[in-house]
């Protein structure tokens, strides 16, 4: 879709990824970017810079995807929708009914609104959680579903509802399966990336960072700014329907991640290995080739550079970070 002069609705636009998507869209010649968010996880602070642009506004009436009539009103007159709203992995684990209502029922509401309002393109945020642990590496989009989490189940449901709506109603768009997204505005709720914030907390206190197990758990870390660009690439693509990984295709163990953070912060602390810890997946790296081929998306920020940017942002917002840290301790 040619997004020049177009109106784009970003559902979940105040969150980690969503706020960066808003900023990336504002780098384009769009007509308007509307944020639809209930602020259960996202924050107004995340949108502080974006809202300085007169083309950006928060939908005034509401921002909950369970409120179908309000959502339908928000979708009215927009050309493209980016749907990022969801309960996160641990919330789905603890509250599966709420996860079903929001991630499945809410996504159905988005699909229904897009069809009824004639939206040209929908970009749906799925997750590498649909894959579970890797059966083969790197994981292409044809990798079998090896998911055992309720969060992953809701994302699989969302993908297949979108697929069905494309076939029946002609709703075009792209599904993006994110690997492990990290970066500025990150909080403590990301199951696999919150470890970064917790390591930095320990270093702040002069304590050794804790790694559970032997640190061999390995993931594909992708910088949030690159993830946001992937959404814009998907929105601008001429793909009528497709599913794509968003990652770097580079495996990093938790041990390697911790050593890199120690290097960046200049800490000489030794890693403290402990048994236990909760991890739903221990091995996952995606193949990014299809997204590069079809969407023109290629990651640009390597892990060290991205972590340096996260550390810099964290130091500039340390007061807010400490408030959130106390809340989650």
What percent helix, strand, coil does the chain show, rounded to 5? 45, 15, 40
CB atoms within 10 A of CB 269: 15
* SS3 label, residue 36: strand
* Whole-number Å distance between alpha carbons of 219 and 286: 9
| Pair 229, 261: CB distance under 8 Å | no
Structure tokens at 171: 């709703």
**In degrees to the nearest 10, what's the CA dihedral of 81, 103, 127, 155?**
-110
Length of the chain as a residue count: 329
pLDDT score of 326: 52
Whole-number pLDDT of residue 327: 46
Q: What angle do CA 200, 203, 205 make, to 5 degrees?
A: 115
Q: What whole-number distance in Å separates Cα of residue 154 and Cα of residue 15?
A: 19
CB atoms within 10 A of CB 104: 18
Cis ω for the linkage preceding 138 (within 30 of 0): yes
> Cβ distance 126 to 155 under 8 Å?
yes
Position 14 scores a pLDDT of: 98
What domains appear along the chain, each with residue ranges and CATH number? 7-181+223-246 (3.40.50.720), 183-220+250-283+301-328 (3.90.25.10)
Rounded Cα gap, residues 157 and 32, in angstroms: 30
pLDDT of residue 282: 86
CA dist 52 and 48 (Å) reads 7
Rg (CA), the chain: 19
Structure tokens at 325: 């840290």
What is the per-residue pLDDT for 191?
A: 59
Please tell me the predicted confidence (pLDDT) of residue 318. 84
Distance of CA 213 to the CA centre of its chain: 26
- The catalytically annotated residue of 36, 124, 131, 151 is 151
pLDDT confidence of residue 187: 81
Q: What is the pLDDT of residue 233?
A: 98
Confirm whether 151 is a catalytic residue.
Answer: yes
72: phi > 0 → left, psi -120 to 50 → alpha, else beta; which? alpha
- Please give the Cα distance from 218 to 283 (Å, whole number): 5
Can you give the pLDDT of all 329 residues of the chain as single tens digits? Answer: 999 999 999 999 999 999 999 999 999 999 999 999 999 999 999 999 999 999 999 999 999 999 999 999 999 999 999 999 999 999 999 999 999 999 999 999 999 999 999 999 999 999 999 999 999 999 999 999 999 999 999 999 999 999 999 999 999 999 999 999 999 999 876 656 688 999 999 999 999 999 999 999 999 999 999 999 999 999 999 999 999 999 999 999 999 999 999 999 999 999 999 987 666 888 999 999 999 999 999 999 999 999 999 999 999 988 776 665 554 44
Which of 155, 140, 156, 171 is closest to 292 using CA atoms? Answer: 140
Other CB atoms within 10 Å distance of the CB of residue 136 = 10
Collapse the DSSP code of 205 into the 3-class scheme (helix H, G, I; strand E, B; otherwise coil) and give the result.
Answer: coil
Which secondary structure element, helix H or strand E, spans residue 148, and what is its range?
none
């Amino acid at each position: 879709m040619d997004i020049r002069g177009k109106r784009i609705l970003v559902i979940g636009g105040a969150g980690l990824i969503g706020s960066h998507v808003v900023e990336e869209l504002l780098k384009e010649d769009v007509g308007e970017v509307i944020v639809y968010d209930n602020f259960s996880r996202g924050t107004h602070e995340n949108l502080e810079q974006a809202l300085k642009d007169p083309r950006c506004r928060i939908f005034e009436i509401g921002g909950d995807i369970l409120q179908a009539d309000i959502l339908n009103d928000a979708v009215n007159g927009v050309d493209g929708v980016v749907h990022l709203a969801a309960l996160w992995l641990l919330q789905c684990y603890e509250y599966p009914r709420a996860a079903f209502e929001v991630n499945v029922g809410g996504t159905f509401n988005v699909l229904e609104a897009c069809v009824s309002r004639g939206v040209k393109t929908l970009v749906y945020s799925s997750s590498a959680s649909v894959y579970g642990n890797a059966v083969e590496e790197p994981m292409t989009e044809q990798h079998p579903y090896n998911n055992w989490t309720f969060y992953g189940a809701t994302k699989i449901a969302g993908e297949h509802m979108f697929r069905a709506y494309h076939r029946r109603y002609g709703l075009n768009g792209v599904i993006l399966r994110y690997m492990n997204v990290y970066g500025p505005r990150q909080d403590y709720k990301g199951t696999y990336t919150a470890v970064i914030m917790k390591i930095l907390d320990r270093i702040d206190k002069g304590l050794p960072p804790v790694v559970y197990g032997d640190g061999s758990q390995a993931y594909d870390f992708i910088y949030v700014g690159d993830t946001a660009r992937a959404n814009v690439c998907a929105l601008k693509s001429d793909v009528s329907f497709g599913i794509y990984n968003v990652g770097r295709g580079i495996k990093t163990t938790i041990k390697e991640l911790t050593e890199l953070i120690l290097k960046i912060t200049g800490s000489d602390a030794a890693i403290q290995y402990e048994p236990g810890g909760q991890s739903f997946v221990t091995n996952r790296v995606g193949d990014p080739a299809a997204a590069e081929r079809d969407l023109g998306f290629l990651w640009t920020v390597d892990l060290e550079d991205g972590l340096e940017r996260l550390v810099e942002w964290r130091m500039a917002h340390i007061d807010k970070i400490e408030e959130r840290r106390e809340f989650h301790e």
